[in-house]
Structure 1
Amino acid sequence: MEHLDKCIETGKVTVDLGQCLQMFAIDAVGEVALGQSFGLCAAGKDRHNWLPMLVKFLEIACLVGTQPIIAPIFRWISQIFPEPPNIKILTGIVTGCMDSRFKEYGQQDISPGHKDMFRMLMAAENPDGSKYSLEQVRAAVGLILGAGSDTTAIIMRAMVRFIVEDAEIYRKVEKEIDDAVNLGEIQFPLSNRDAEKLPYFQACLKETLRLHPPISWTLSRTVGAGGMRIASRFFAEGTEVSMSPFVVHRQPEAYGHDAAVFRPERWLEADPEQRKTMEHNNIAFGSGPRVCLGKTIGILEVSKVMPFLFWRYKIQFTARSTTSPHRHKVGRAVDGRVSTEEPYFVTSQWVAVQSDFWCDLTPKRGSLLAAAA
C-alpha cells in the first residue's frame, strides 16, 4: 500500500493494479517460505521482469505436465540455450537465501522470530524419526514459491473485478468495512479474527473462489481397487477421473438457479445445512485428503489485504481507449466473454491468470507515508 501511496501524491492515479497485487503476493510468499521478501513492493516495480516469466513457467509446466512425452524436448532446449538473465537473478536470490538459512540452521537452532515454512521443514521429521534431506527442503520451498504467488494474486484480482463491477455490492463492502473500523471492531493490519468480523466481505471472497477458481485445470484422481460408480456410470479400476471447478461451481444443482451470477448474499441467506453443502461443492482448492495445503494461507493473505485496499482507495476500472495504457484492445473474462468493458484479460492454462488490469485509484484517507512520519 505504501507503494500505491507513493504513486498517488494528489488526486487520482492510473496503475496496473493486477501487477501491484502480484508483487505483494510474491513478496508475501517469500516471507512465508523463506522469512524474506523479494523486495518488489519496496521497489515499486518488477525490476527484473519476473512476473511474465512466472506466467510462462506455468504455461510450460502445464504443457509438460499434461503431455509428458515432450518433456525431453524442453530438457534439450534448456541445455542448448542459455538461461534467461531474469531467471538467473531469481534463482540466485532464492538459492542465496536458502543457503544462508541452511548455514544459520547448522550453526544454531533458528530463532523463534523466523516463523516461516523453511524453519518448519528443517525441524520436521519423517515417520521414522529422520529429518528431511536438504534437497527435499529445497524442493518443498521451491514448490511453495511457485504455487503460492500466482494463485493468491488471481483471487485478489478477481475479487476487485467482481466487487467494483457491481455498484451495490461495492457499496455494501465499503460500508461494512467503514462501519467496523469506525465502531472499533477491527483495526489495520487485520488479524484473522478481525477479518472474520466482516461477513459480507467473506461472502464476496467465497463467491470469487466459486466463479473464478485460481486453478482452471481439472484436478484428477485415479479410481481405486474394484472400480467405482459415479453418477450412475461405472469406472474401472485405474481410470483417471476429474472435474472442472469452473463447471461444477456453475451448476444450478450445486448453487441454485442463479449459479452463474456473482451474488454474495447466497452465503448469508443459506441455513447452516445449505451453507455446508455449498462449501462441500466448492473445489477451488481441491477436495478431500488432497486439498491444497496452502488454502488457509492464501485465504488469510486475501482477508488481510483486500479489506484495507477497499477501505483505503476508491477503485474504478480504467476505460479502454486509444490513449489508455492497455495492451489489449478488448478484455476477456474467465468464462471467455470478450468485451471492451471487461477490465482485464484472462489467459487460461494451469491457472486462469489475468493481465492488463488497469484501475484508477483515488485515496479516501490521508497518506500512509505522512502518518508514518
Structure 2
Amino acid sequence: METTTAANSSDNGRPLLLGYTISGALAILALISLGLYSIITTLKQYLRLRHIPGPPLAPFTRLWLARSETGGRLYKDVYEVNQKYGPIARIGPNELVTDDPYLIRHMTNVRSEYRRSEWYYGMRFDPTKDNVLSTRDEVAHNKLRAKMAAGYSGKEVDNLEPIIDRNLLSLISLLEERYIAKKKPFDFARKAQFFTLDAISDLSYGRPFGYLANDEDMFSYIGMTEAQLPTIMLTSVYPILVDLLSSPLLNRLVPSDKDLLGLGRITGIVKKIVAERFEPNPNLDKKTRRDMLASFIAHGLTQDEAESEVIMQIMAGSDTTATAIRATMLHVITNPRILGKIHGELAQNEYTATSPPRDRIISSEESARRLPYMQAVIKEGLRIHPPVPALTSKVVPPGGDTWGGVYLPAGTKVGCAGLGVMRNPRIWGDNAAEFRPERWIEVVERGDKDKLREMEATLDLAFSSGRWLCLGRNVAFMELNKIFVELLRRFDFVVMDPTNPWKSTHAGIFTQSDFWLKGYKRA
C-alpha cells in the first residue's frame, strides 16, 4: 500500500515539476530577451550620436542629467561640458547641449521646424494642465499666445506702469521704515521676491498678494516652493513622472487647492479669483475691470486655461525677475567703480536722493531708458547671471539638420547652456566672465551697429526668442528699469558678509536667500 502511494505521488508530481521547469525557463528567457533589447536599444542610441563628444556616461544613461539637475549644478555642468567638448556636446542618450547663440536662434526662429521637447512638461505646475510655457503642440501654443498677447503688452491693462510704481513704493517704504530707519539688516533676496510677487499679482488680477504689506513669506509659498523645485525639475529629465503624478495613486503628492500652505494655497486663491470672473452675473466692477486676467478672458481663455496661466505668471514671472534684481544688485553694490558711475549719471539727470518728491516714483520707464549707463548695468546683470540658464530643449525636425559641420539626427533634443551663451568669447570678448557694463557703452561709441545688434540678440536669449519669446519680457524690463533707479538714488547698501553674500541654488531657475544687506539713506 505504501509502495503504491509513493508511486502515485511520483507519477502525479512529474507534470507539476515539468510545469515549474518550463515556467522558470520562460522567465529566464524573458529576462534574457529584456536584457538583449535594452543592450540593443542603448547601443542604437549610442551609435546615432557617437560623432558628438560628451561626458563618458552620458551616451548610455540619463543619470548624469538627473544627478546634475537634482544636485543644483546643471547650469554649471553644461557650461563646463561645452567648454571641454565644444559648442555642441552630448549630455544624454538623446540629449545635446549648445552654447552657440546662432544655433539657438536658428532653432527658435519663427519659421523653424524645431519643436519643444518633453523638457517643457516640467513646466506644468499642475501635472494635469498645460500652460503657455509647457504647451508643446504648436497650433495650441500659437492660439494661447494670441489670446494673451494684448494683456502682456499692456494695451488692455489700465495703469500698468502706475501699478508697478505702487508696489515699488511699498518696497521702498518697507525697507526705509522697518529696517533702514531702525538700522536693522534685511534679507534683500526675500524683499525682492516680495516685490515681484505683489507686482505680478496686482497686474494679473488687480490686487497684490500682500507680501510687502505683511513683510513675510505668506503661506510659506517661497520656502516650500524652493524645497520642491528639485523634484519638480526632475520631471524635465524623466517626463514620465508627470503622468505618474497625474495618476489617482500619486496625485496626492501634488499641491492641491485645498492646502493651507505653499503652491497649493496660492492655487486655491487663484482659482477663487478666476471663478469670480466666470460667474453668470458678475457685478459691474468685474465687467469693466481692465487687468491681465480680464484681457485673457475677453480674448477667449476658458476658466481652466485662465487658472493655469495666472499660476504660471506667479511661478515663472516672479522668480526670474527677482533673480535678475538680486544678481544685478549684488554686482553693483560690491563694485565701487560701477556704483560711482551710476550715482554720477543719476545726479546729472536730477535723480538724486534730495530731488522732490520722495513719496512717489519719479522715474518713468521712458526716462530710465534714457540713462545709458543704467541700461548697460541692467543688460550686463541679465548677461552675467541669466535667470533661466538651462536647458529649454528643442527637438530636431524630421530629416535631421546640420550645424557647423555637425549632423543632428531627427528627434534629437538640443538644449541651451545659458551661462555658456552669455559668456561666449565669440560674442563678448576675452573678458566675458567680468561684470563690465562699459562693453555696451563702448560698442555704441564706436558706432558698430552690427556688433550691438549681435550683442542685443544674444542677450535676448535670456527670454528665449522667435516663436517662444517670453510674453512677460516687457513687464520684466519695466520692473528692472525702475527698481534700480529708485533704490540706488535713495539708499546706500552694504553687504553684511562679503565673503558669503548669499545662498544661491539652481533647480531649473535660481533661488537665492540670506542676501543680508544693511541700508543707509543717501545724503
Pair 1:86-2:261 in alignment: yes
In structure 1, what is the equivalent of residue 44 of structure 2?
none
Is 1:22–2:199 an aligned residue pair?
A: no
Alignment correspondent of 1:305: 483
Within the alignment, does 1:241 sit opposite 2:436 as a pair? no
1 CA distance for matches of 2:189 and 2:480? 14
Equivalent positions of 1:212-223 (< 5 A) are 212-223=385-396
Moved more, 34-43 or 63-72: 63-72
Map of 2:455 onto structure 1: 278
For the residues of structure 1 that align with 2:173 and 2:234, how far apart are their CA atoms?
A: 38
Residue equivalent to 1:370: none
The offset of 1:86, in angstroms, is: 1.0
AA aligned to 1:288 is G
Aligned to 1:316, the other structure's residue is in SS state strand
SS in 2 for 1:315: strand
What SS does structure 1 have at the residue aligned with 2:450? helix
- Aligned mate of 1:293, from 463, 471, 483: 471
Deviations 1:29-88 (A, max 9, x none): 101211111011111222422211232343332111221233355454442699652135
Which residue is equivalent to 1:371? none
User: Does the 8 A contact of 1:18 with 1:157 survive in 2?
Assistant: yes
Larger Rg: 2
Deviation at 1:297, TM superposition (A): 1.0
Distance 1:303 1:267, change over 3 A: same
CA drift at 1:100: 2.5
Distance 2:377 2:193 in 1: 20
The worse-fitting range, judged by mean Cα deviation, of 99-108 and 46-55 is: 99-108
Query: Does structure 1 residue 197 correspond to structure 2 residue 374?
Result: no
The 5 Å alignment of 1:46-125 reads 46-71=217-242, 74-75=245-246, 76-79=249-252, 84-87=259-262, 88-103=264-279, 106-107=282-283, 110=286, 114-124=289-299
The C-alpha deviation readout for 1:107-144, integer Å capped at 9, x for no partner, is 558565x44210110111xxxxxx33211122122211
**Inter-partner Cα distance in structure 1 for 2:471 and 2:218:** 30
Conserved? CA contact 2:180–2:521, under 8 Å:
no
Are the counterparts in 2 of residues 189 and 304 from structure 1 also a CA contact under 8 Å? no
AA of the residue aligned to 1:262? F
Question: In structure 2, which of residues 163, 173, 176 is the aligned counterpart of residue 2 of structure 1?
Answer: 173
Q: Is residue 361 from structure 1 mapped to residue 519 from structure 2 by the alignment?
A: yes
Sort the Cα spacing of 1:117 and 1:158 in 2 relative to 1 into closer, same or farther, 3 A: same
**Secondary structure of the corresponding residue to residue 188 of structure 1:** coil
- Would you say the 8 A contact 1:224–1:237 is kept in 2? yes
Structure 1 residues 138-153: aligned runs within 5 Å = 138-153=307-322
Q: Is contact 1:11–1:362 with CA below 8 Å preserved after alignment?
A: no
Mean CA deviation greater in 67-76 or 306-315: 67-76
Encode CA deviations 1:220-270: one digit per residue, 9 max, x unaligned. Answer: 111223321112101122221122111111111011110110000101111
Q: Identify which of 435, 438, 447 aligns with 1:265.
A: 438
Contact 1:8–1:363 at 8 Å: present in 2 too?
A: no
Runs of 5+ in structure 1 lacking a partner? 125-130, 320-339, 366-373
Task: State how far apart, in whole Å, the 2-side matches of 1:217 and 1:259 are.
Answer: 18
Distance 1:355 1:288, change over 3 A: same
Deviation at 1:179, TM superposition (A): 2.5
Secondary structure of 1:13's aligned partner: coil
Match of 1:133 in 2: 302
**SS of corresponding position for 2:306:** helix
- Counterpart CA distance in 2 for 1:141 and 1:182 is 35
Distance 2:255 2:468 in 1: 37
Shift of 1:95: 2.2
Q: 2-side partners of 1:152 and 1:351: how far apart?
A: 11
Distance 1:171 1:246, change over 3 A: same
C-alpha separation in 2, matches of 1:80 and 1:54: 14
Q: SS at the partner of 1:234?
A: strand
Query: More displaced, 57-66 or 232-241?
Result: 57-66
Change beyond 3 A, Cα 1:50–1:81: closer
Pick aligned residue for 1:44 from 215, 236, 248: 215
Match of 1:175 in 2: 344
Partner of 2:31: none
SS of alignment partner, residue 135 of structure 1? helix
State the shift of 1:363 in Å. Answer: 1.8
Percent identical: 28
SS in structure 2 at match of 1:38: coil
Are residues 361 and 111 of structure 1, via their aligned partners in 2, closer, same or farther at CA, if it must alter by over 3 Å? farther
Q: Which amino acid aligns with 2:376?
A: A
**Contact kept in structure 1, 2:323 and 2:510, CA below 8 Å:** yes
Q: Report the Cα distance in structure 2 between the residues aligned to 1:118 and 1:304, rounded to whole angstroms.
A: 24
**Distance in structure 2 (CA, Å) of the matches to 1:314 and 1:80:** 45
TM-score normalised by L of structure 2: 0.60
Contact 1:148/1:294, CA 8 A, preserved across alignment: yes
Q: Distance in 2 between matches of 1:289 and 1:101?
A: 30
**Structure 1, 240-249 or 45-54: larger mean CA deviation:** 45-54
Does the Cα contact within 8 Å between 1:215 and 1:284 map onto a contact in 2?
yes
What SS does the corresponding residue of 2:185 show, helix, strand or coil?
strand
* Cα separation, partners in 2 of 1:244 and 1:13, compared to 1, 3 Å: same
Distance 2:254 2:387 in 1: 32
Structure 1 pair 82–259 and aligned structure 2 pair: CA distance change class (3 A): closer
**CA, structure 1 residues 48+138, in 2 after alignment: closer, same or farther (shift >3 Å)?**
closer
State whether structure 2 residue 426 is matched by structure 1 residue 253: yes
